[in-house]
Amino acid sequence: MFNVVCGDRDTGRALVAHPTPQLVSITGSTRAGKEVAAAVAPDLKRTHLELGGKAPVVVFDDADLAAAAEAIAVGGYFNAGQDCTAATRVLAGPAVYDDFVAALVEQARGTKTGAPDDEDVLYGPLNNVNQLARVTGFVDRLPDHASLGIGGARVGDRGYFYSPTVVSGVRQQDEIIQDEVFGPVITVQRFSDEDEAVRWANGVEYGLSASVWTKDHGRAMRMTRRLDFGCVWVNTHIPFVSEMPHGGFKHSGHGKDLSMYSLEDYTRVKHVMHNWG
């Protein structure tokens, strides 16, 4: 049986708190996940939480910058950045930082937002007026040391379209680095060495996805081991296959979608033993 119950937040809260459901699965913000976890705690219900993300994209000095800039722009701007795995937090090596920022700005300049019937459009509007205000607020509150390379404005006066945006010069504790924007805004930080890149990449409350861009296989293996994220790509970002799990750590929630692991999350294991003697 597949049953769809339409309603508002009160409807959702009633469903979650009802004694009949034995598992609650939610895809949403960390705040929403915490509220669901608190609501089901009295009944000790199981939860499957797929929450926010702040994916680090670590671009080393030996990376193919043109390929990286193109793929990261797509991975950061598709669906107007409204994806928990979006490639919106770039950490670039010291030798390529300036060139990468320039390449990413060029990619943003060639990226178009608008109505879906326009074949040249990569992404459409933000979901609602509140989300438009949220994204706008992050950019409007940028600290003085940050630099707006391109974008940072609403597009048109109808709908909730926001321009592809690149912000550089940001620091690790800045709001736009620590919090999920969920919009078409890509930030770029300059790291000094591999250890600092790992420390900054892991230095957020989320742990959903990440990517590493390098031609050095040994470095790629070290980074994939050290990055504390549920999915780590090398020289790509975003592609999923049904055979591999999707899910995160820390405030990105727990539980897996896709693969056999997801069946374990949605299954109750029952052990039955008979003695026929």
User: Which residues does residue 119 pair with via DSSP β-bridges, in sequence order?
Assistant: none
Domain annotation for the chain: domains and CATH numbers:
9-50+246-265 (no CATH), 56-234 (3.40.309.10)
User: Which residues does residue 233 pair with via DSSP β-bridges, in sequence order?
Assistant: 211
Nearest to 147 by CA among 171, 124, 113, 178: 171
Residue 60 pLDDT class (50, 70, 90 cuts): very high
Question: What mean pLDDT comes out for the span 89-104?
Answer: 98
Q: What is the pLDDT of residues 169-202, one digit of tens each?
A: 999 999 999 999 999 999 999 999 999 999 999 9
Nearest to 97 by CA among 31, 170, 202: 170
Beta strands in 120-192 (DSSP E): 147-150, 165-168, 185-190
Long-range contacts formed by 20-25: CB under 8 A, 24+ apart: 21/45, 22/46, 22/268, 23/47, 23/48, 23/266, 24/48, 25/49, 25/50, 25/255, 25/266
**Angle 71-219-90 from CA coordinates, rounded to 5°:** 35
User: Among this protein's residues, is 175 annotated catalytic?
Assistant: no
Residue 125 pLDDT class (50, 70, 90 cuts): very high
Q: Which of 35, 50, 180, 205 is catalytic?
A: 50
pTM: 0.92
Nearest to 154 by CA among 122, 183, 118: 183
Q: What single-letter amino acid sits at 255?
A: G
